[in-house]
Chain A
Amino acid sequence: MEHAEILHRCFRCGYCKLPGNYADINCPAYLAYCFETYAPGGRMWLLRAWLDNKIEAGSRFAEIMFSCTACGNCVAQCAFPEFRDRLLLAFTAGREALLDAGTAPPSVRDWLTRIQNHGNAYGKPAKKSLEWADGLEIDVFDGQEYALFVDDTGIHEPRGREIARAVATLLTTAGISFGIIGKPCFSDGNDVKAMGETALFESLAEKNISIFNALNIGKIITLSPHSYNVLKNDYPALGGQYQVFHYTQVLAFAMGRLPLSADRPGLTVALHDPCYLGRHNADYASARMVLQALPGVTMVEMDRNRADALCCGGGGGNFFTDLLSGGDDTPARSRAREAAAAGAQILAVACPLCAIMLEDAVKSENLDKTISVREISEIVEGRMDLQGNAR
């Protein structure tokens, strides 16, 4: 296993469990289960024990390893410089070793199989991949400045489609020169890679890259921060060199071109920083710039924000594999409570996975009369004087 040589170096001091201000538990799996085994240090020691044949890798072992959402809080907070940069890499390597050994939770196995067989996490036929944009009158990419890449959730999940349509509408209204990719793309592979299925990731990425390159795409806007991360940071090594932007990064500088209404009622908004825009790529500004440009919007911050943000629990494939659900302290439910406590009317998200995870959590917490979850694109759209921009 790669990075095996660092496993024993973890002291299990526990900084990785917390945000920088120590306000609450900030490791999603540890928050959900509370056992030391589910904390980053617990994983490190268990992996070491497995490699030393002191413990067998059974179903619970696999659940512990795959319940990590790869949110990166441990990397941000670990007290050991340099060592910390390898934490997630070690967990990914551990999962890769487990997959090689044929030990993965059934939901993980099924998720990966769907992607393997169908190219997307929903097991849907490829020909449905453009349906999300039906009726939007958006051109197919043909040399415009940007190509819009929509992830599996934006393509196949009804709620994701709403968000994808809102984003496309905004980009159009702002006069951004873009087109949607006319050929069916494959799952971006971000979470597949994080969960250690390297070969499948490379296969997905190479297929997407060949589509992008055939179309001579140079700049890509992504709907999902997950896609943004993998296209920006991992595709180049496989021959996919593009300028990649999350949609909020493009929108932040185009807000002046939107017909924003000045007479909407005031709105108090808390932003949930997506892990793959924030901690993994250090952009805490773009989404806030978009929200702050909206007349009448007042921003409040949750205790855990920016590099300290709590993951919604949907990263690392958990959106599909559901290894963190069931208790009172799932990350999404904890986040919903935190947003309500911050006094926000709207919990703004910038990721379709976060949107769905947190919407469910708000309902589970019976907070739906107090706070609602809205994707940033929808908040912006709702504060425009839109005439004839059909969705």
Chain B
Amino acid sequence: MTADLIARLGKITGPRYVSGAAEERYLYSMDQGTMPPAAPDAVVMPKTTEEVRQIVMLANKLKVPVVPMGAGLVLSGLTRALKGGIVIDMKRMNRIVTVNPASRYVVVEGGASQGMLKAYLDKHHPDLKHSMPDAPPVATLAGNICIHGSGHLSVLGGSHSDMLNGMEVVLPSGEIIRTGSCGVSGGWFSRAPLPDLSGLFLGWSGTTGIVTRLGIKLFPKYRYNDVLIFVAEDPDLMPDMISRLTSVQAAEDMTPWMTPKPDWARGFLHINIAWGGHTKKELIFKRNLLQGSVREYIDRKIAGFLPLPPPQKGRFLKIPSPDLARFADLRRGGGFEYVGAIMAIEHFPDAYRAGLAIAEKFNVAYSLGARIIGAGHAMMFFFAYAFNRADPEDVKRASDALEATNTAALEIGGIPWKAELPAQKQIIEKMDPDTFALMGRIRAVLDPNHIMNPGNWEKD
């Protein structure tokens, strides 16, 4: 069966880009997080939408599961082949198809990476940029958008899925559809005014289709950029501080962080605030707006902006910041995973305290933080735990802490983001039953043979 599958996949992509070897099966069975391995039977790397379509048709015919994968950096195990089958590694479909500077969007293939788009825009459209997550630059645009990721323009533009203008998707049944304006006009400028079919593929953890092309919003790139770090001590004041800082609508990105390492940072609540301006005057004007918004706290001397000489700002302005990946080495063990919970801003104090309590209870190396989404409309609050992957007990500790954090996040009123399998089940438990039933009916329509990333978003 497997040899036949490999041979038939090889006829689609060429044998060089298919493997059923132990090496690939091993490595693609897991990601960097704590979820246990689940190996595919084959890994295949298509180059075109047509190849993707043929792979899906073959999988349908053979009733073999299909798991789409970007860079495999989700950390929560969503690209594991829970029921075996084919992992479709999309990275060979990495072209930047077109940029429309007038309407500020780009069309990319499903395997194009964040870093590659950044480099392309830097070179060819230096006055444009896209919102990059803090994931490493090999992370794919499609993967991040499909999980409702966020990034360094999220205060300005919301979740990355909000910055999506449309998609080309290979359905589990093999049809190729286009959502958004590109389905009608050929331009990729908007999801409105059509029925928003993009939602069928956002947040579904690869269970509804394979995205082969996306139209993504671009934003003006500023010549001058700056960062402020706001420091406070009272978590109960954070929602109001965030509300005030976002109210002036000057920032592009706002990321609170609370970490016990380095030692000096323990107990302080920081908010990194990044913004830009076409001129220095604009830059300073916006800074004054931001500082003015929290002047009351400053005058009371209970919070303020950390003085940062210009040479020290570079590391905070680097996008993406490698500091995030470096957290994985905190335990000298190459591992970290986090619960990122999408929640309302007012839950900040509860989330912070829950994070501290869980870290203490499970004795895990932690870092807490958030990314503000929209003008203070919501946040992705993260509870990150580093672990030593060579130490099973340490991995278990982190895993237990993650599960407890998912529980806590749901109790607070948040929803775990890009949820691991156990967290999906916790969410389903809390979800309105009719809504969950609708999810099932939609999947049944789209994927009658139930081949798309099976095991995810299922009760049992």
Contacts and interface: CB of A to CB of B under 8 A. Distances in A.
A and B touch in their complex, CB below 8 angstroms: yes
A9 B332 contact: yes
Interface stretch (A48-56, A93-101, A349-357): A48-56
Interface in A208-256: none
A80 B329 contact: yes
Interface residues of B, number: 45
A15 B335 contact: no
Contacts of B92: 34
A55 B329 contact: no
Nearest to A56: B22
B72 A36 contact: yes
Interface in A1-41: 8-15, 17-18, 21-24, 33-37
Most chain-A CB neighbours within 10 Å: which of B21, B23, B45, B328?
Answer: B23
A11 B335 CA distance: 6
Given A11-B334, A22-B118, A60-B21, A37 B27 contact: yes
Contact of A64 (B23, B32, B45, B119): B23
Contacts of B89: 34-36
A326 interface: yes
B319 to A, nearest CB: 11
Interface size class of A (residues with CB under 8 A): 35 or more
Contacts of A24: 116, 119
Contact of B27 (A14, A17, A46): A46
A15 B23 contact: no
Interface string B326-355: 101100111110000000000000000000
| Interface of A, helix, strand, loop or mixed by DSSP | loop
B334 A60 contact: no
A23 B334 CA distance: 26
Contacts of B336: 11
Most chain-B CB neighbours within 10 Å: which of A17, A24, A35, A46?
Answer: A35
B26 A35 contact: no
Given A14-B71, A14-B138, A23-B116, A35 B329 contact: no
B24 interface: yes
B436 interface: no
A18 B115 CA distance: 9
A266 interface: no
Contact of A22 (B16, B72, B113): B113
B6 to A, nearest CB: 13
Interface string A262-279: 000000000000000000
B390 interface: yes
Contact of A34 (B17, B136, B137, B389): B17
Given A8-B389, A9-B332, A61 B119 contact: no
Interface string B178-190: 0000000000000
A13 B136 contact: yes
Most chain-B CB neighbours within 10 Å: which of A10, A36, A60, A326?
Answer: A36
A21 B122 contact: yes
B43 interface: yes
A206 interface: no
19 contacts: A9-B329, A11-B325, A13-B32, A13-B325, A14-B71, A14-B136, A14-B138, A15-B322, A22-B119, A22-B137, A35-B45, A37-B27, A46-B23, A55-B22, A58-B22, A60-B21, A61-B23, A80-B325, A303-B119
Given A35-B27, A36-B24, 14 more contacts: A14-B71, A21-B122, A34-B91, A35-B43, A35-B45, A36-B27, A36-B28, A36-B89, A42-B27, A60-B21, A61-B23, A79-B136, A83-B329, A326-B16
